[in-house]
Structure 1
Amino acid sequence: MAGSKSSTYEGFTAEERAAMKEHAQEEKKAARRGSPADKAAEAERDVLAKIAEMGDTDRIMAERVHAVVTSAAPVLAPKLWYGMPAYALDGKVACFFQSAAKFKARYATLGFNDAAKLDEGPMWATAFALTEVTDEVEARIAALVKQAVS
């Protein structure tokens, strides 16, 4: 095609490769854990430790998201997923928090996977940008996670 630029595939970014390595380590660690109760307790400790490592803005938002998700939908089990705090329903990640710093983005993300029941007709949102977690945002997150597990 005349005048078109050729583009070359650059592969995964360093951040994407790091996230994939984290996921592999998470899976290996989960496979070595003991009883289901031990697995759940250790998985939550891992999530809280990952949140504690975040920079101030991301950490504050992640702490509030964690509190809202675990309160509004206690059936969701905290776990790490590609190095991010995530919440699983029957072993499948339903929602996750992605810090802005994780992929050098200008905002954090609250995302939902297909295990979340957010269906609204033929099209619905599965990710939300977060720059701050206000009382209003907390209420919206609570409503979304309740719907996700309904």
Structure 2
Amino acid sequence: MAGKTTETDGFTAQERAAMKERAAELRAEGRKGAKKADGLQDLLEKIAAMAPADRALAERVHVTVSATAPELSPKTWYGMPAYANDEGKVVLFFQDSGKFNYRYSTLGFQDAAHLDDGDMWAASFALLRWSPAVEEKVVELVRAAVS
């Protein structure tokens, strides 16, 4: 795990910040009624605050997910851009490399995604750069996740 942990709770500063962001998101959802437009605005603000390389990837992920699965609602989840189904469950999320000081960004899928494949399957994918092949794979994964 990247980052320095404290002796008292075992969480890094980045992990504690993500938990605080999630608590704030839950409070905001309760106040706003979790409107899709509010979630989109929050997601776009998170993307805009990313480092340039991460922002470029997040923008491409956002465009691709929005075009491939318009039924998913954009939102933030632990301070990360995410997309939820009509039950409000996160299907997939984008974690920029700066979030926890990792060397790469990731596209992750939660249990609401329909990616099950036998007894073991990938639920997270490293993203280093965008290409037509990467876009094709992301489209394929998103389509499977919402099927």
Question: What TM-score, normalized to structure 2?
Answer: 0.91
How far apart are the structure 1 equivalents of 2:109 and 2:60? Answer: 17
Moved more, 104-113 or 131-140: 131-140
- Give the deviation of 1:64 after TM superposition: 0.2
How far apart are the structure 1 equivalents of 2:44 and 2:9? Answer: 34
- Give the deviation of 1:75 after TM superposition: 1.2
How far apart are the structure 2 equivalents of 1:17 and 1:72? Answer: 33
How far apart are the structure 1 equivalents of 2:9 and 2:42? Answer: 32
Aligned to 2:84: 88
Aligned to 2:117: 120
How far apart are the structure 1 equivalents of 2:132 and 2:88? Answer: 29
Does residue 1:47 correspond to 2:32, yes or no?
no
Alignment of 1:103-118 (within 5 A): 103-118=100-115
Supply the RMSD in Å over aligned alpha carbons: 1.4
How far apart are the structure 2 equivalents of 1:131 and 1:110? Answer: 11
Aligned residues: 140
How far apart are the structure 1 equivalents of 2:25 and 2:130? Answer: 27
- Give the deviation of 1:115 after TM superposition: 0.2
Aligned to 2:3: none
Aligned to 1:16: 15
Aligned to 2:54: 58
1:88 is aligned with what amino acid? A
How far apart are the structure 1 equivalents of 2:126 and 2:109? Answer: 12
CA deviation string 1:73-110 (max 9, x = no partner): 11111110000000001200010000000000000000
How far apart are the structure 2 equivalents of 1:110 and 1:56? Answer: 17
Runs of 4+ in 1 over 3 A off after TM superposition: none
2:15 is aligned with what amino acid? E
List alignment gaps of at least 5 residues for structure 2: 1-6
How far apart are the structure 2 equivalents of 1:125 and 1:75? Answer: 23
How far apart are the structure 2 equivalents of 1:126 and 1:80? Answer: 18
- Give the deviation of 1:111 after TM superposition: 0.2
List alignment gaps of at least 5 residues for structure 1: 1-7
Q: Percent identity?
A: 55
How far apart are the structure 2 equivalents of 1:122 and 1:70? Answer: 30
Aligned to 2:143: 146
Larger radius of gyration: 1
Question: What TM-score, normalized to structure 1?
Answer: 0.90
